[in-house]
Amino acid sequence: MAYHKPVLLHESIEGLNIKPKGIYVDLTFGGGGHSREVLNKLGKHGRLVAFDQDPQAKANVPDDQRIIFVGANFRYLRNFLRYHAIDQVNGIMADLGISSHQIDSPERGFSFSSDQALDMRMDLRGKKRASQVLNQYSQEDLERIFWQYGELNNAKAIARAVVHARGERELGTTGDLKEALMKFIPRSFPSKFLARVFQALRIEVNQEVDALGEMLLQTAGCMAPGGRLVVITYHSVEDRLVKNYMRSGNLEGIIHKDFYGRAETPWRVVNRSVIRPSRQEIETNKRARSAKLRIAEKK
C-alpha cells in the first residue's frame, strides 16, 4: 500500500511557481509525493528542506543531495532554517492533516474502523496519547475540544458521556470510545460523526492548531519577496487560520491599514476563490474530498 497519495499535486506545485535555483520547504513530507515533484522542477543548484515529525517518514526520503530532511514539527521552521544557514526561501508548502499511512496503521489509533489503542500521536516521541485526554481531562475541557476541534453541536453531552463511561472503566481503545458514545452515533452516516470525534482528539493530542498558528506567523519572515506560501487544509478550524493569515498577516483576520488606507499585510492572495480537488481526483482518492488549497505571494 502506498504511504500517501498526494492531494492537489499539480495545483499545489504550480502554485509554488518554482524557480530552478530556488530554495523551497515542504513542511509535511509524509510519503514525499509533493517533495518529489518539487525536486523534479529544481535544477542542480536548487534546494529543498523537508519537515516531518513522524519518525517513520524518514524512510521515504529520496537519495538526493538537494534535500535536507528535518525530523521535527513545523512549528520550529525558523530555528531549523537558521541552523542550516538559510535566511530566506522562495516557497513554503504544507499539506495539513493526517497521512494515509497513519490512518492505515491500526496500531497508531487514528482510525475508528478497528479496535486499537487510543494513541493518535503523529510524533511517536510525544508523551500525550488520546487515552490520556479522554481519561484525565475535565468535562469542561473535553467539551471545549469536541466543540472547537470537532465542531460537534452536542459537545457538552458527548463530554458528559465520556466522563460517565470512564467512571466505570478506563477508556483504552477505539472500541471503548465508540461504545461510550453509542447513543450519539447516527444510523445514517455514522462515520461522519466518528470522524469529527476522532479529529477533535487528534488535534488536541498533537496540538495541531497551536503548531499551525506558530508556523504561519514565521513564514513571512522566512520568505523572499515574490515567494509563495501554499497550504492545503482539510477542516474549517485550520482553513480559517490559513485564510485569516493570508488576508491580513495575523491569525485573527484583522486587516490593519496605513495612513493612506492601504492594507498592511506581507501577502498578496493569489487565488481569491479556494481551489478544490476535481471530481475525478475525489473518485480516485476519497481522502481528497474535503481538501482546500490556498496560495499567497510575499510582497
Residue pair 57/31 in contact by the 8 Å Cβ criterion = yes
DSSP 193-229: HHHHHHHHHHHHHHTHHHHHHHHHHHHHHHEEEEEEE
pLDDT at 203: 95
Mean pLDDT (the chain, rounded): 93
Residue pair 89/227 in contact by the 8 Å Cβ criterion = yes
* Confidence label for 102 from pLDDT (cuts 50, 70 and 90): low
DSSP 219-270: HHHHEEEEEEEEEEE-SHHHHHHHHHHHHHSSTT----B-TTS-B--SEEES
The stretch 53-74 carries a mean pLDDT of 95
Write down the pTM of the prediction: 0.92
The stretch 123-149 carries a mean pLDDT of 95
pLDDT at position 245 over 70: yes
The residues, any chain, with a CB within 8 Å of residue 237's CB and separated by 6 or more, are 148, 149, 151, 203, 209
| CATH 3.40.50.150 residue ranges for the chain | 9-100+208-298
pLDDT at 55: 86
> Of 55, 212, 187, 28, which Cα lies nearest the Cα of 121?
55
The stretch 228-246 carries a mean pLDDT of 96
Tell me the C-alpha distance between 267 and 288, whole Å: 27
CATH of domain 108-206: 1.10.150.170
Task: List, in sequence order, every residue forming a beta bridge with 35; answer none if it has no partner.
Answer: none
The stretch 76-99 carries a mean pLDDT of 94
CATH topology for 9-100+208-298 is Rossmann fold (3.40.50)
| CATH 1.10.150.170 residue ranges for the chain | 108-206
Q: Is the dihedral of CA 240, 246, 251, 254 positive or negative?
A: negative
pLDDT at 264: 92
Residue in the block written with cell 504561519? 216
Q: For a pLDDT cut of 70, what percent of the chain falls above it? A: 95
Q: pLDDT: is 27 or 260 the higher one? A: 27
